[in-house]
C-alpha cells in the first residue's frame, strides 16, 4: 500500500511540474515568439512583460500556437520524469512509449477542450 501511495505522490508532483512548464513555455512564446499577451495577463502585470497590440482574432490564433508548443514541451518533460521516477520503463520501445503518452495526453486535452 505504501508503494502505491508513494507512486501516486510522485505522479502528482510530476504533473504539477509539467503544468508549470506548460504555462511557462506558453507564456514565453506569447511574449517573444508569437506576441499575444494582453494588458491584463499576469505575466504582463507582475513580471513586466510587454503586452501586444494585435486584434482579438490574431491574439487567439497566436495563443493556440503558444499553447501547442507548451503542450508538447511539457508532455515530453512529463514523459521523461514519469519514465525516470514513477513508472518502470522497458515494456515498449521508448518511441512507442512516447507516442502512447502523447496520444493519451492529446486525448485528454481534446476531451477537456470539447467540454469547455
Global pTM value: 0.81
Round to the nearest angstrom and report the end-to-end CA distance of the chain. 36
Of 79, 106, 73, 96, the C-alpha closest to 14 is 79
Q: Which residues are CB-neighbours of 62 under 8 A, at least 6 positions away? A: 30, 34, 35, 36, 54
Best-predicted range by mean pLDDT (27-31, 46-50, 92-96): 27-31
Number of residues written out for the chain: 116
Give me the sign of the Cα torsion angle 58, 64, 70, 73: negative
User: What is the number of helices (H) and of strands (E) in the chain?
Assistant: 4, 0
Report percent pLDDT > 90 for the chain: 38
pLDDT digits (tens, 9 = 90+) for 68-101: 999 999 999 998 998 888 887 778 888 888 888 8
pLDDT greater at residue 109 or residue 77: 77
| Whether the predicted pLDDT of 112 surpasses 80 | no
Amino acid at each position: 500500500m505504501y508503494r502505491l501511495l508513494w507512486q501516486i505522490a510522485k505522479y502528482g508532483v510530476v504533473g504539477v511540474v509539467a503544468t508549470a512548464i506548460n504555462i511557462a513555455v506558453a507564456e514565453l512564446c506569447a511574449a517573444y515568439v508569437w506576441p499575444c499577451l494582453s494588458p491584463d495577463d499576469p505575466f504582463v502585470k507582475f513580471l513586466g512583460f510587454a503586452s501586444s497590440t494585435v486584434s482579438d482574432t490574431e491574439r487567439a490564433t497566436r495563443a493556440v500556437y503558444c499553447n501547442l508548443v507548451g503542450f508538447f514541451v511539457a508532455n515530453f518533460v512529463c514523459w521523461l520524469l514519469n519514465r525516470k521516477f514513477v513508472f518502470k520503463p522497458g515494456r515498449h520501445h521508448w518511441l512507442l512509449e512516447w507516442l502512447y503518452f502523447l496520444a493519451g495526453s492529446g486525448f485528454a486535452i481534446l476531451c477537456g477542450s470539447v467540454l469547455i
